[in-house]
Chain A
Amino acid sequence: MNLELILFILLASVAAVSSIVMITRKNAVISAVFLVLNFFALAGLYLLLNAQFIAVVQVIVYTGAIMVLFLFVLMLLNTESEHKLFVDKRAIKFFAILISAFVFVQLAYLIFFGKPSRTLTPDEVASVNAGTIQTIGQQLYTNYIIPFEVAGFLLLAATIGALVLAKKKFE
């Protein structure tokens, strides 16, 4: 057993356990904190796959920004009524289990029985380097310069839009 396999088992079990704990908690805030742990474990798994950039984005954006937004929404919402919707209605529970079972079977099939539809060239060096920050930097600031600038304007529009819609005293 090499180091990567040990780390994979460790991180994967942390991710699985934290997600189970997350969906079984009554208090939504505690669930959110376990979601953070889950995101951290996923970031570790991305690192094992040598996808550094995705790991960093996972930590910066998901565990940082998105989780703060989650917690704010939880404070804004009335969690009692949400409890009524999801726990007391049997049909919703049934469909949730059905859909997650479907996804589980699909993934299990792909992992154990599926074959890659396209014959990938066994160029290991290239595939290992594809996820590094250097490669993404090289591509993003040379070939993909226009989408990158458009992203700037997208964020500007989002700033203005958020202020227009959410500022309390807007004139």
Chain B
Amino acid sequence: MILDYIPIFLVIIVSIIFGAVVIFSSTLFGPQRPTKIKLMPYESGKNPVGTTHERISIKYYLVTMMFIIFDIEVVYVYPWAVEFKKLFGEHGIFAFIPMLIFLVVLELGFLYLYAKGGLKWD
């Protein structure tokens, strides 16, 4: 049972190893001759002022919320895609129509978002 997931575990392990190798190989093989000036945050010589934990105006906040909404849409579509063959065999076209309605309603939301300029930087 659990052995079915070995490919997924392999992908995860390979991606972790790949990421680790890429990050650490540069510190391992690259030349390291640090000086005080090199380690400063800004190489222009400007001294940093204040904390890094400032409040940041987030332009893409709306995009994030939309991302969540369409992410949840994926959750609904995913079991349908897995089961589609069987559903189509049992119910014919009625396996297809509900998802069509669902997607039309949601893409209407996307069209609305686009028409109102919800994806613009303002």
Contact = CB atoms under 8 A, between A and B. Distances in A.
Let me know if chains A and B touch directly in the complex, using CB atoms closer than 8 Å: yes
Contacts of B82: 133-134, 137
Contacts of B79: 53, 133-134, 136-137, 140-141
Interface string A123-142: 00000000001101110111
The contact size tier of chain B is 35 or more
A72 B58 contact: yes
A111 to B, nearest CB: 22
Contact of B122 (A3, A56, A160, A168): A168
A161 to B, nearest CB: 10
Q: Is the interface of B mostly helix, strand, loop or mixed?
A: helix
B102 A149 contact: yes
A77 B55 contact: yes
Contacts, number: 134
Contacts of A88: none
Contacts of A64: 71
B102 A138 contact: no
Interface stretch (A17-25, A91-99, A151-159): A151-159
Nearest to B52: A27
Q: Chain A contact residues: over half helix, strand or loop, or mixed?
A: helix
A36 to B, nearest CB: 13
A151 B67 CA distance: 16
A84 interface: no
A137 B88 CA distance: 12
B10 to A, nearest CB: 14
A134 B83 contact: yes
A167 B65 CA distance: 11
A138 B83 contact: yes
Interface residues of A, number: 49
A47 B8 CA distance: 11
Interface string A1-33: 001100100000000000000000000000000
Given A141-B99, A156-B106, A66 B68 contact: yes
Contacts of A145: 98
Interface centre among B101, B109, B118 (most CB of A within 10 A): B109
A78 interface: yes
B11 interface: no
Q: Which 6 residue pairs are nearest across A and B when measured between Cβ atoms?
A: A137-B83, A159-B109, A137-B79, A152-B105, A65-B68, A65-B71
30 contacts: A3-B2, A7-B2, A47-B2, A60-B74, A61-B71, A61-B72, A61-B75, A68-B67, A69-B64, A72-B60, A72-B61, A76-B58, A133-B83, A134-B86, A138-B83, A141-B98, A149-B105, A152-B101, A152-B102, A156-B108, A156-B109, A159-B109, A159-B110, A159-B112, A162-B66, A162-B69, A163-B62, A163-B112, A163-B116, A166-B62
